[in-house]
Amino acid sequence: MSTSKNKVIAVNRKAWHDFHVLEKFEAGLHLQGTEVKSIRAGRVNLKDSYARVDDGDLLVYNMHIAQYEQGNQFNHEPKRSRKLLMHKREIMRLLGKTREKGLTLVPLRVYFNGRWAKVELALVKGKRVYDKREDAKAKDAKREIERELKNRQYK
């Protein structure tokens, strides 16, 4: 999904391990000037971040954007809540979905689409420990099969 105009800045790999991804969405980020410069430098951490609808606005929490080194007094707060930009009907649809039992919104990645900072959000459901074990077994089995096929190819 990363084309020449989409430059991926940060990926939340832990989300794929901890959650079942049900649906993906794209949202714009409402940022301050020094935040844009920090994101362009790749100083973003999505670990433990989540999104929620508050008073009709979609907000992302715990997304750490490091302070810009040359930002002086105009620098931003690294873990402040940031507004996500989506159409109102999409936000209301997400509100309805997140009210269902066990569903939440998690950012999967931050990227630039042209000059605009975007967040890929996912509607997720938490995995149980046995789901994580099954995923690890399936991944190991797939890796073993690929290794065997590669070895047979060279014989």
CATH value at residue 49: 2.40.280.10
The token duo for 50 is: 């989540």
Q: Is 136 within a domain?
A: no
- 133: confidence class by pLDDT, cuts 50, 70, 90: confident
pLDDT digits (tens, 9 = 90+) for 51-99: 999 888 999 999 888 887 777 777 777 788 888 999 999 999 888 888 8
Residue 104's beta-bridge partner residues? Answer: 124
Q: Is 133 within a domain?
A: no
Q: Is 31 within a domain?
A: yes
DSSP structure class, residue 140? H
- Provide the domain limits for residue 18: 6-126
Q: Is 111 within a domain?
A: yes
Whether residue 153 is predicted with pLDDT greater than 70 in this model: the reply is: yes
Q: Count structural domains, the chain.
A: 1
Confidence at residue 2, expressed as pLDDT on a 0 to 100 scale: 47
Q: By C-alpha distance, which of 54, 49, 62, 44 is closest to 110?
A: 44
Q: Is 62 helix (H, G, I), strand (E, B) or coil?
A: coil
Q: Is 135 within a domain?
A: no
Q: Is 152 within a domain?
A: no
Q: Is 25 within a domain?
A: yes
Whether residue 1 is predicted with pLDDT greater than 60 in this model: the reply is: no
